[in-house]
Amino acid sequence: MSKSNRSAHTLALFRQRDLIAQLLSQINPTNKRAKAQLGAAVTQIHSLGDCIRETTQDSCSELLDVSAGLDGILKLLDLQRDKSPEHYSLYCLLTPLKRQLDDALSNVHDML
């Protein structure tokens, strides 16, 4: 993802919440029932946003653990690469996957 796209996604969930609040401030229901329905919808939107953020943060945390484990494997393979071509081949196969995982994690983290 390019830097301009990345900055557009930075804190997207918080920007979404602010935009919803801005829209809601422009709505003025005239009766109690409409106000109650609007309030319920707002509560649901905020709860859903919190759930999305928490789930995404938890998943990122787990993926960071996977990334750290993969980093350890890559270091071991790098140390053994002179002893066996298979170690070096596996190192070469896993390195781009590690980079792809880290880039994807960075994109999601920036969005939060």
pLDDT tens digits for range 44-96: 888 888 888 888 889 999 999 999 999 999 999 999 988 889 999 999 999 99
* Domain hosting residue 42, numbered range: 9-20+30-111
Q: Is residue 84 part of a domain?
A: yes
Report the pLDDT averaged over residues 28-35. 80
Report the pLDDT averaged over residues 23-34. 79
Q: Is residue 100 part of a domain?
A: yes
What contacts 94, CB < 8 A, 6 or more positions away? 70, 73, 74, 77
Q: Is residue 39 part of a domain?
A: yes
pLDDT score at 10: 54
Q: Whole-prediction pTM value?
A: 0.67
Q: Is residue 3 part of a domain?
A: no
**Which residue type does 5 have?**
N
Q: Is residue 25 part of a domain?
A: no
Q: Is residue 2 part of a domain?
A: no
Q: Residue 19's pLDDT band (boundaries 50, 70, 90)?
A: confident
The number of distinct structural domains making up the chain is 1
Q: Minimal CA–CA distance to 109: which of 6, 15, 19?
A: 6
